[in-house]
Structure 1
């Protein structure tokens, strides 16, 4: 097009990305967004697993949690963002948005995994009076790992995008979303595409790291199980 104000070329985007990476505040901005959004992700992950364990253990709790979880899942991010602005601002805003995005996803996947455990394996564990730690380590965790892995893969992408979108609205200090907002205000299209590339690359890296860690944990448990069997 020949008009960088409207649409920059890939070369211009790469040049702006490299220029941003050598700025002294670049990595502080990236670390700020990563810290806040990952905090929301881990809060949603831990609470989602705990709620899933409770709803799978006590069936009467399932209707109490399924309705609010489905409401959270169906509500647009923009609606939550506008409502959350009434109570939160700055760093806590993006943490809350990321938390809401991952919580129902982790809950539904882990709950499904727990409700599809092999009843014969659980019966064997009861017959041989295996300790709860062994049941958790050798039966429950390996069976629910595929469901958890799926939730982590999808949830990381959702909470990362929603968290950055929340930063665009709340405009906290040291945030990628704030840089996107500033690039839009000052019509710096090259910076807008460069920061978008940063978001995409970080999202891919986070997903690969999470999957690698979970796979490594699963393989370690499998090796331990084989060693005990031998």
Structure 2
């Protein structure tokens, strides 16, 4: 293995003067072509490509900092964690990841998690992470990478919360046809919607009940007008 390594560097060791024999000349030339022009270039291309991929990821990563600054921030955050009795960072990250407002988290969102002992502890947590540039609040409160469906869901959730704070509620689908999309008071009862099948059955029952007296009358008239069997012969006999 050591001999192959030296040969890769150009030291062929015990071959002596390889220019004397033609077979050694062909071997050395082919070896240099294969090792330096092909294999080493392939290895360098793979290494450079991997490096460029890591560099691109680091440039897109907004929370990435230099090594010394990152180490100081990590140690300082752990010291503040034990001082203010902050909860586990892993649980907080999982909780904020499931929140629909994870891109704009305010102090009340931190406090409502119920994982901080006091409001002072939650305020210290909020103030510490607010000083980082990559955690600044977006101006319009939206995330450009958020899908359109999630944006609509977040907007509906905001409308519902605002209406709840004002003592209102969002209208149902039936109420939207009458009142529009404006919130309505909580005291307004919600309309009771019946299934389409039950409405059809009730309509058919009302139609049958309204037509039953007429049909009964027709049947009775029919029985009175029809002669009885043998009635004609009896009348003839009487005559």
Q: Could you say whether these structures have the same fold, taking a TM-score greater than 0.5 normalized by the shorter chain as the test?
A: no
TM-score normalised according to structure 1 size: 0.19
Structure showing greater Rg: 2
TM-score normalised according to structure 2 size: 0.19
